[in-house]
Chains A and B, each alone.
Chain A
Amino acid sequence: AQKVTQAQTEISVVEKEDVTLDCVYETRDTTYYLFWYKQPPSGELVFLIRRNSFDEQNEISGRYSWNFQKSTSSFNFTITASQVVDSAVYFCALSEAMKTSYDKVIFGPGTSLSVIP
């Protein structure tokens, strides 16, 4: 069965600190996709990244970086030099690629990040 766990319910950091959001997933498939979405106070879910299960390279995009490790089934997200605008709920998610090409996304419970000025 598919499952995504985000053990951190809420995190508070002071502006300019680095913060890592943890994500652990479960799937029986060998081919799958992992995602991170951001939900700011305005409510929409904003796509941040998609990672194919065959691509374990870490990715960096500005202050954001992602560490994908299949050995530990983890896909952690780090924000460097956090800013107040980073305050949001962050969701890690999973979808299996071997079913239809348009599969449903399984979400983790989310981590609420508060960046304090």
Chain B
Amino acid sequence: EAGVTQFPSHSVIEKGQTVTLRCDPISGHDNLYWYRRVMGKEIKFLLHFVKESKQDESGMPNNRFLAERTGGTYSTLKVQPAELEDSGVYFCASSQAPRGGGKNIQYFGAGTRLSVL
């Protein structure tokens, strides 16, 4: 079974440009999360989809970030326009919908390393 896949693995762009990151969750996982780790800081939650709906987007830093999950399958995270402080590693995770309550484990991808110059 394929794990969470993210594309690209590394993106280098100039300040002011637009970048779109993609995440393909594990097949059958309704929950999809975005996290990021900027230089020297901890891995921070950005947002959470349940199928195609945004369940929690409290971690999105500002309106330059737009996440979508059309059809409830893969998700994209667009940064427009990118700023220097957006550099970091962006992780995607997915989990199953719990049956009978309780949490399911979030499985993470390898991340996309974004460098804004």
Chain A interface residues (CB < 8 Å from chain B): 33, 35, 37, 42-47, 50, 91, 95, 97, 100-110
A109 contact set on B, CB distance < 8 A: 42
Chosen A-B contacts, 7 in total, with CB atoms closer than 8 Å, are A44-B109, A50-B105, A102-B48, A102-B98, A102-B104, A107-B42, A109-B42
Binding site for A on B (CB under 8 A): 3, 9, 31, 33, 35, 42-45, 48, 50, 55-56, 59, 89, 91, 93, 95, 97-98, 101-111, 113
The answer to whether A95 touches B43, judged by C-beta atoms less than 8 angstroms apart, is no
Give the number of A-B contacts (CB < 8 Å): 65
The reply to whether A104 and B103 contact each other, CB–CB distance below 8 Å, is no
User: Is A102 within 8 A of B31, CB to CB?
Assistant: yes
Q: CB distance A101 to B109 under 8 Å?
A: no
Question: Quick one: given A43-B110, A44-B109, are A104 and B3 in contact (CB under 8 Å)?
Answer: no
What residues of chain B lie closer than 8 Å to A108, measured between beta carbons?
42
